[in-house]
């Protein structure tokens, strides 16, 4: 029997949802409906400083107003730190983590020093300079996860070592926009995209003050929730390289991916939570209906 598609919308409750989130949620919900699949909501609230109950309540209210329904219980990442600790411990046991005590300023200074010597320092796909490897020799064991949680260090993945443990080149199955069209055929295999996790350097696995990072939590949760198709915006397209690497290291299944277009504001920039005028709450309070939101997001208004 063909597997039932399981899709999710995974916002972070660190601000109000905007039109871009509405597009993402409506696309995923619509695809789940059409494909006879399940739709899950996951709250990615690992950042205890920036996430707030009031934003979480706003997300639930905005999505319900848009007419979406989702399964219960909603997975809240802050309630599952043990799952991320276990995954981080596995990577530590494999000897792939190191404890990094560099501040942002220290990293910036190390990169500036190399650039002053005329070295063209590599950037990651988001444009940030790669970590210069300062602490790479400081191997992290399981106990180091507690030190990360206590805010003493961050734990990073030694990317060269990690890649050396993987036999084959990495890739993922990408459906892109086609996934969201009526004509999408579930038996389609999508395009095979080569992953390049090295482009991100020694990524953070446990942030200072936390047993996890976005990358670790997202792969653990997608696996635990049985997500078959990861639906999200193109801003996370290249993060998939890191996710595929972590999935292979942790022995997790590989979902398919469908990255969708992003909405831009009148300034041509990607919408951000700081654009309060385009928050769903502001639009609702200005008298717009859920149909208007669909139209503004470039979706047919009739569903
Ligand atoms: N929580 C992420 C965000 O709000 C999305 C994560 C994902 O879909 O993989 O941007």
Residue nearest to atom 10 of ligand 1 (CA): 11
Structural domain contains residue 131 = yes
pTM, 2 dp:
0.95
* 216 and 158 within one domain: yes
* Domain count along the chain: 2
* 95 and 242 within one domain: yes
**CB pairs under 8 A, 24+ apart, for 106-109?**
106/134, 107/131, 107/132, 107/134
Q: What is the CATH number of the domain that holds 211?
A: 3.90.800
* 96 and 135 within one domain: yes
Residue pLDDT, tens place only, 26-35 = 999 999 999 9
The finding on whether 227 has its CB within 6 A of some atom of ligand 1 is no
Dihedral, 270, 275, 279, 282 alpha carbons, nearest 10 = -150
Under the banding of pLDDT at 50, 70 and 90, the label for residue 23 is: very high
* 245 and 104 within one domain: yes
The finding on whether 174 has its CB within 6 A of some atom of ligand 1 is no
* 61 and 168 within one domain: no
Q: What is the CATH number of the domain that holds 21?
A: 3.40.50.620
* 86 and 37 within one domain: no
* 96 and 74 within one domain: no
The finding on whether 218 has its CB within 6 A of some atom of ligand 1 is yes
Residue pLDDT, tens place only, 76-85 = 999 999 999 9
Residue 243 CA: nearest ligand 1 atom is 9
Q: Which domain holds residue 163?
A: 80-172+189-224+237-249
Q: Which residue has the tokens 């020799």?
A: 137
Q: Ligand 1 pocket test: which of 44, 241, 273 has the largest number of ligand atoms within 8 Å of its C-beta? A: 44
């Amino acid at each position: 029997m063909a597997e039932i598609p399981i899709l999710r919308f995974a916002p972070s409750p660190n601000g109000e949802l905007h039109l871009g989130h509405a597009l993402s949620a409506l696309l995923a919900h619509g695809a789940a409906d059409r494909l006879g699949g399940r739709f899950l909501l996951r709250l990615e609230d690992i950042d205890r400083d920036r996430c707030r109950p009031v934003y979480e309540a706003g997300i639930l209210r905005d999505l319900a107003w848009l007419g979406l329904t989702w399964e219960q219980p909603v997975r809240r990442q802050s309630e599952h730190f043990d799952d991320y600790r276990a995954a981080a411990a596995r990577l530590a046991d494999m000897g792939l983590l190191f404890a990094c005590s560099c501040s942002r300023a220290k990293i910036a200074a190390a990169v500036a020093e190399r650039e002053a010597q005329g070295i063209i320092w590599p950037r990651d796909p988001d444009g940030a300079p790669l970590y210069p490897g300062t602490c790479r020799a400081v191997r992290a064991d399981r106990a180091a996860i507690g030190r990360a949680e206590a805010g003493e260090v961050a734990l990073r993945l030694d990317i060269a070592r990690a890649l050396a443990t993987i036999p084959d080149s990495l890739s993922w199955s990408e459906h892109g926009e086609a996934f969201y069209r009526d004509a999408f055929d579930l038996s389609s295999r999508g395009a095979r995209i080569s992953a390049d996790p090295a482009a991100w350097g020694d990524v953070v696995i446990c942030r200072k003050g936390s047993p996890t990072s976005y990358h670790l939590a997202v792969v653990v949760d997608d696996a635990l929730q049985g997500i078959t198709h990861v639906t999200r915006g193109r801003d996370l397209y290249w993060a998939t390289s890191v996710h595929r690497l972590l999935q292979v290291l942790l022995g997790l299944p590989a979902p398919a991916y469908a990255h969708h277009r992003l909405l831009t504001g009148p300034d041509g920039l990607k919408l951000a939570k700081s654009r309060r005028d385009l928050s769903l709450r502001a639009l609702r309070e200005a008298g717009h209906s859920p149909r208007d939101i669909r139209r503004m997001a470039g979706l047919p208004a009739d569903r």
